[in-house]
Amino acid sequence: MFFLAFIIGALFHYLTRLTGINELDGMIAVWLGLYICSHPAANFLEMIVFHGDVQVWVALRRSAVSWFALNMLVLLAGFVLVMIGTTRFFSGW
C-alpha cells in the first residue's frame, strides 16, 4: 500500500494531469488515499479494542513496535495522498 501511494503521488507530481480533468484526478487520489488509510486505521483500532490493557502495551515486543510503526507509515502515506488529491481537486477554482 505504501508503494501504491508513493507511485500515485509521484505521478501527480511529475505529470500535470492524469486524466485531463483536475476534479477527476483529485477524486481518484482522494479515494485511493482513503482506501490506503483504511487498513492501518482498522489495524490500529483492533489493537486498541482487543489489546487495551496497559500491561499489554508495556509488554510490546520489538516486532509489535515495528508493525505499529509500519502501519503509521502507511497511514501517513495515505494521508499525504488525500492531501494531494484535495489540492488537485480545488486547484482549478
Give the pLDDT of residue 57: 58
High-pLDDT (> 70) share of the chain, %:
86
* Reported pTM: 0.77
What does the pLDDT average to over 52-73? Answer: 70
**Confidence band, pLDDT 50/70/90 cuts, at residue 70:** confident
The mean pLDDT of the chain is 82
pLDDT tens readout for residues 14-62: 877 778 788 888 899 899 999 999 998 888 888 777 766 545 655 666 6
- Give how many domains the chain has, as a whole number: 1
Contacts of 76-79 with CB under 8 Å at 24 or more apart are 77/1, 77/2, 77/5, 77/6, 77/9, 77/36, 78/1, 78/5, 78/33, 78/34, 78/35, 78/36, 78/37, 78/38, 78/40, 79/33, 79/37
Give the pLDDT of residue 76: 92
Domain extent for 16? 2-89
